[in-house]
Chains A and B, each alone.
Chain A
Amino acid sequence: MNETPTVVVQNLCKAFVGPDGKRFAAIDHVSMAVRAGELTALVGPDGAGKTTLIRMMAGLLKPDSGSLQVLGIDVAAHPQSVQDRISYMPQRFGLYEDLSVQENLDLYADLHGVPQEQRHERFTRMLDMTDLARFTERPAGKLSGGMKQKLGLACTLVRSPDLLILDEPSVGVDPLSRRDLWKIVQQLVDEEQLSVIVSTAYMDEAERCGRVVVFNHGRLLADGSPGTLRQRARGMTYTASPPQGTPARELQARLIDRPDLIIDAVPRGGNVRFIRRAEEDEPRLKDVLRDAPYEPRPEELEDAFMMLLRQQEGEKGATKPSGEAPSIAVNGRQDQPVIVVRDLVRKFGDFTAVASTSFEVIRGEIFGLLGPNGAGKTTTFRMLCGLLPATSGYLEVAGRNLRTARAEARGRIGYVSQKFALYGNLSVRENLEFFGGAYGLRGQTLKERIAASLEQFDLDPSAQSGILPPGYKQRLAMATGLLHQPDILFLDEPTSGIDPLARRAFWRTITALAKGGVTIVITTHFMEEAEYCDRIAIQDAGKMLALGTPQQVREQTAASGAQDMNSAFIAIVEQGRAQREIAANSI
């Protein structure tokens, strides 16, 4: 193995002009070195500066100051010499959608000058690893999201590079494809002693790497092996069990509301995992936990990561989680279904996007809709919101049949779409006024509702909406969705693209809303977030594969040894696919 480092970064800086016209440091005095033959993870939330650093390594961006050597070459001075030797897979890999799988591979092999005699072997191996051998003639545009990502990786790896750089290869990829991608990378590191730099927002992925470098807001926060990083949380990590019959999220909410005692708390596996502040004493902790029993648990990389983020956030003296439970008065009894779905079917031509699905959602429940890309989640979701008519089946929302009273039903629901669907060049107040008006609120009522929303979500009314940080955009979107005090709030992938701390604050608001009686229907691709839900449904290929509390869903796969939500999810989807294959073969 080579002793000289593959990448040497010294005092590197890079600034951009932000949407508000001010310069901000995307990479702020970063120094690090990457060893050869090792898998190095750049970890950090969105906007941490990972992509900027990677693009500088690939010679696509010029540093403002500092030095950056890749494979012993000064990248800024000789980008092409570096580009001739590395392979780089950007976040959105540039596949030519109108070219076939084979043609894409050929193109990249030609560009990298892979000799003809080596190609056959390399292609066979890549197609085999990515399981794309059956699809060589298919245009890349007709592949599924996960398959596209795998083809991107295969194109990047048409030759064995001196350094492989992967920018968030698993973003927007479902857990199954994510696992496959990592298998390929791991195999190459083991077999070819490949040096790999990979950026990721997933801790379980970072855990597989030899080395982890943590970033946030352009700063390097920590650098070391997963083992040494974990050490930081030693002795501070615990698991608490909620009293019988209460959801874990209520205990979690209580803990996260005490930043003076608790660094972080998340529901997991029916319990609450938390990190306490080392300096605080037992009695005060017991006081917050009330009677809930708790015990130490082994520390994980995620714990160290959350501690690092909190620490930096604390230094900046920034946002504290909104502790106050927002009070939204909802009339009506508990325990009665507010959403009734029976034999719901949606077809697009010959294609069945949703196949005879049935479930009910109870008032005040948090209901999660999970599934891999293309599973039918979004279609189901749109039908529930009345945005898309069902092909057949019965659909009742807030006591109204969506077939006959769609407009009325819509008046009772709030909808927060995946993309920021507000007007970026209007101020926060103007957006609220507009959407309030659209929901039929006027005069004094509208004023009062806006004032309440601004306070509840801690928003500055005069700020321009388009340049808010992602977490605040999310809050504004929620605020507009809740202005007319709906019975049901629909949230489509609300937490994608916002950092873990903002996600904690977001879920704190959601749990408070649910407590106030608002029914929440949510889709997410963060499997651990399913733990906040009362019940979840897992869909794949339009079929409902699992329905129940997170506990029940996990137990459904107990035989396969699934411990957490992520592996339970993978097991369930794979089971479903295997059964489908058997059914298809028997016909």
Chain B
Amino acid sequence: MNTSGFTTRLVALTRKEMRQMLRDRSNLIVGLLLPVVLILLFGYGLSFDVKDARVTVVLEDGSPAARHAVAGLQGSPYFAPVWVRTMDEAERLMQEDKTDAILYVPGDFSRQQAAGLGRVQLLLNGVDSTTASTIEGYVSGALSRQGGQQGDRLGNKSAGVASVVIVQRTWFNEPGESTWFFVPGLIVLVMTLIGAFLTSLLIAREWERGTLESLFVTPVRSLELVLAKLAPYTLVGAIDLAMCLLSAKYLFRVPMLGSLWVIVVSSMLYLLVSLALGLFISGATKNQFAASQMALLASFMPAMMLSGFIFDLRNVPVVIQGVSYLLPATHFMSLIKTLFMAGDIWPDILRSCAVLSLYALVLIAATCGKLRKTLDETT
């Protein structure tokens, strides 16, 4: 009797939530269209890669050795080199923001190189530090490759003595594509936005319209209300997850080293956390406007800034690190990146999933608490 009442009520409430969701066009647009926009925006629009870097080469030494040393800049998609005669000219270009870097090859380069002390100078435009360090990496890569070949050719007679040749290889993201790095993070963002933002309106709306007062004086239990509100948006979240995964595989061709089912299960777990967070905010504020603002501030913004989506968390101040480890998004971010690019690493998977499950339980319990059937102000 008791359990059948529970099921009847849960089904009735879920049906109600489903209908309300389907009839509210604006909510559906946010739920299904916004993720598409985010996928395209972040997938194509956000990139740390630099193409056609404007490098001005000042070649004071016209010798074949010097020419050869910088030949690596030519014929590469990464560089668009400009050749000038004097440093003054190059500096002018830099001042006018017409170049991103100056590679200075001094007049005595070939002589010095013969002595094993070949030196060039790289000046970078540091206004955009990310681009500057990327170019630095590219240039030194191009030069050392060239230097290496040179060394080989010379039988490593002189150059090899002084210079250490670095053979560089990047693991987990071999081409160094930032898309590979962003797309898994995108799943985190989409799940966060859909979860928290959409559900943040649900309870607040019922408070505002006075529907809760009527619902309270029925056999309904708080848990039924919460579960019924989670159900339809879990479905929307699942559709969004499918869109993310499909675009990751077929649009951006990001490798998925981990097993698909682990990715799906852990993503759904995170979705549940963020749905519950949205519901909790909704129940706590009792006001749609405040709830949606809070949801953005408390979930989407931190997920974007503090979860390691863009910035490596080890480089941020300790306090902010502490804050970011409080965010469920941080745990899921590291998990999903690992799953995509490194594969199933079980200790990581289990630890992160345990943390996420804990969050989900705590938030659902807290939401039930906020939906205690009383109109007394919480004291």
Contacts and interface: CB of A to CB of B under 8 A. Distances in A.
B12 A94 contact: no
Contact of B214 (A80, A94, A97): A94
Nearest to A83: B217
B219 A113 contact: yes
Most chain-B CB neighbours within 10 Å: which of A89, A97, A107? A107
A111 B19 contact: no
Interface in A39-62: 55, 58-62
B121 interface: no
A94 B209 contact: yes
Contacts of B16: 96, 99, 103, 107
A83 B213 contact: no
Interface string A146-167: 0000001001100000000000
B216 A60 contact: yes
B74 interface: no
Contacts of B212: 94
Interface in B177-217: 206, 209-217
B54 interface: no
B374 A111 contact: no
A94 B206 contact: yes
B23 A108 contact: no
A87 interface: yes
A92 interface: yes
Contacts of A155: 214
Interface in A69-85: 79-80, 83-84
B132 to A, nearest CB: 52
B214 A60 contact: no
Interface stretch (B3-11, B123-131, B267-275, B307-315): B3-11
A202 interface: no
Contact of B218 (A93, A103, A112): A112
A119 to B, nearest CB: 12
A155 to B, nearest CB: 8
Given A94-B212, A96-B211, A99-B20, A108 B217 contact: no
B12 A84 contact: no
Nearest to A14: B376
B8 A98 contact: no
A460 interface: no
A90 B20 contact: no
Given A107-B12, A107-B16, A113-B8, A95 B211 contact: yes
Contacts of B96: none
B24 interface: yes
Contacts of A87: 217
A190 B209 CA distance: 33
Interface in B238-276: none
B45 to A, nearest CB: 35
A110 interface: yes
Given A60-B373, A92-B210, A107-B16, A83 B9 contact: no
A106 interface: yes
B375 A55 contact: yes
Nearest to A90: B213
A83 B375 contact: no
Contact of A86 (B24, B211, B217, B374): B217
A98 B19 contact: yes
B113 to A, nearest CB: 77
Interface string B1-43: 0000100110111011001100110000000000000000000
B210 A111 contact: no
Contact of B374 (A61, A95, A97, A99): A61
Interface in B94-114: none
Contact of B215 (A111, A113, A152): A111
A88 interface: yes
Contacts of A90: 210, 213-214
Given A98-B24, A111-B12, A89 B373 contact: no
Interface in B318-369: none
Contacts of A108: 218
Given A94-B206, A110-B8, A111-B12, A58 B211 contact: no
Interface string B218-252: 11110000000000000000000000000000000
A81 to B, nearest CB: 10
A401 B210 CA distance: 44
A61 B376 contact: yes
B291 to A, nearest CB: 18
Nearest to B11: A110
Given A55-B375, A113-B8, A83 B216 contact: yes
How many interface residues does chain A have, given as a range? Answer: 20 to 34
A55 B206 CA distance: 18
Interface in A87-130: 87-90, 92-99, 103, 106-108, 110-113
Contacts of B8: 110, 113
A111 to B, nearest CB: 4
Nearest to A155: B214
Contacts of B9: 110-111, 113
Contacts of B209: 92, 94, 97
Contacts of A55: 375
Nearest to B374: A60
Contact of B219 (A95, A98, A112): A112
Nearest to B218: A111
Nearest to A110: B12
A76 B132 CA distance: 68
A218 to B, nearest CB: 17
Contacts of B23: 98
Given A103-B16, A110-B8, A113-B8, A60 B211 contact: no
A151 to B, nearest CB: 12
B224 to A, nearest CB: 9
A148 to B, nearest CB: 12
A94 B218 CA distance: 12
Contact of A111 (B219, B373, B375, B376): B219
Nearest to A103: B19
Nearest to A156: B214
Given A59-B373, A107-B16, A83 B219 contact: yes
B217 A94 contact: no
Interface in A563-580: none
Given A60-B374, A84-B219, A111-B12, A94 B210 contact: yes
A106 B210 CA distance: 19
B217 A58 contact: yes
Interface string B149-176: 0000000000000000000000000000
A344 to B, nearest CB: 35
A142 to B, nearest CB: 12
Contacts of B11: 110
A199 B210 CA distance: 18
Contacts of B5: 113
A98 B5 CA distance: 25
Given A83-B216, A107-B12, A111-B12, A60 B210 contact: no
A86 B214 CA distance: 11
Given A103-B16, A110-B9, A111-B12, A94 B215 contact: yes
Contacts of A95: 211
B17 to A, nearest CB: 10
A90 B217 CA distance: 10
Nearest to B16: A107
Contacts of A106: 12
Contacts of B220: 111
8 contacts: A59-B373, A60-B375, A62-B376, A86-B217, A88-B214, A94-B211, A108-B218, A113-B219
Interface of B: 5, 8-9, 11-13, 15-16, 19-20, 23-24, 206, 209-221, 373-376
Interface of A: 55, 58-62, 79-80, 83-84, 86-90, 92-99, 103, 106-108, 110-113, 152, 155-156
Given A98-B23, A106-B12, 5 more contacts: A59-B217, A60-B375, A62-B374, A90-B213, A152-B214
Interchain residue pairs A-B with the least CB separation, the first 6: A94-B211, A110-B12, A94-B214, A88-B217, A92-B210, A111-B218
